[in-house]
Structure 1
Amino acid sequence: MTALAQELVAAAAHLAGLGLSPGSSGNVSVRDGDRILVSPTGTDLGALDPGNLSVLDLDGNRLDGPAPSKEYPLHLAFYRRERATRAVVHLHSRHAAAASCRQPWSERSALPPLTPYFVMRVGQIPLLPYAPPGDPAQAAELEGLAFPCRAALLQNHGPVVAGTSLRAAAEAAVEVEEASALHLLLGDRPVRHLTPAEATELARRYGTYWEPAH
């Protein structure tokens, strides 16, 4: 597990170095079989210690280490939704947090398909209604969504992103921030989005999810 812990710490430091995790905000996790390594509560993602991570089971019971981030239920929700999920990243990145304060583009995606890379790396990203940070009811809502997704925007809060590897989750979190920045920059101007056919073909080819707007 040491190598996996070091990989988690490196991914967290990378995201912090990009300025996507101000202060002690944000949290990351990685799955190792039936155990989850999670960043501890109140920690700076740029200064995690691979020997001092929280270890949970899939029911949220602490097996070892310090108390986990209070957002750990969101992480567990993604691991339970899809067995292939190996890592989860939650950030308070500026543009994604701003986008979470706006009305969603559609029922199934807060952000429109502006670029191929957003669809390829993230796919549809629903907006979950506001809840206080750490509220287990919000995690239950995420777990119970009736359509597939590997990311969500938490209203007035920020993004939470899952991936089939730490690298995939980190890249998707960066892509959410970039797509959010474009969405905000374009504002109410007339915009060409990818067509439904273009978006669904990219999602099919790259293993993400995109369904027609509802």
Structure 2
Amino acid sequence: MLSVRPDVPKDPAKVSRIMQSATHIFALEGYQQAKTADIAKAADVSKGIVFRYFGDKGHLFLATVQYVIERLTDVADFKVWQDAQDLSDMISRALRYKISLQLEYPDEFRLSIRSFSEMSVLPDDVQTEMAQYWQNQTTMSVDLLEKPVLDRMPIRDDVDQDDLQRLLNAVTNQVFADSQKFMAEHPEAGIEDFEPFIQQIRSEYRILEHGFLK
């Protein structure tokens, strides 16, 4: 974390407070509406310290997203994905697990979503860095989470692995977009309320995995 201004000495305690306050305020307000002064005040530091450490609001946003993803990665149990027997098992496990994590870490998930939806309003240089960061994260996630499952499956010889991966990514992105919509519409829902949704997704993945022709 803190690939932003690595040459500037930083007090770890102040960095921690800034990251915590920035996570909450960016998640709540979004990039454009969030005020650096509010983040500094909540972190009990001067606005000058925030700019010294991160340069500008755009790079503070980038650093906060990096912080959030590292925080979620540290607490995640990757075996939930890796031990799945097939794609439908993997997606239902992953969705159930991500929902439980999101209920536990709402600010972190809200901010990670905003980092995509608000990409176009970021300064050009931050847009480029954010896009590259997420591209690297996606590549790493595919190798770490999905590949172990696919390697155990009897995939036809005529199926191009890159085409399959693009298809899976597209479907997975839609699945998690649908889950975000459900959570927004049911803010008080517990994990048990998502079971019909999860079973529907599992059924859809079985069709993807086995086809729909007789």
Per the normalisation by structure 2, the TM-score is 0.29
Higher RCO (CA-CA < 8 Å; seq separation 6+):
2
More strand by proportion, 1 or 2?
1
Q: Which is higher, the Rg of structure 1 or of structure 2?
A: 2
Per the normalisation by structure 1, the TM-score is 0.29
More helix by proportion, 1 or 2?
2
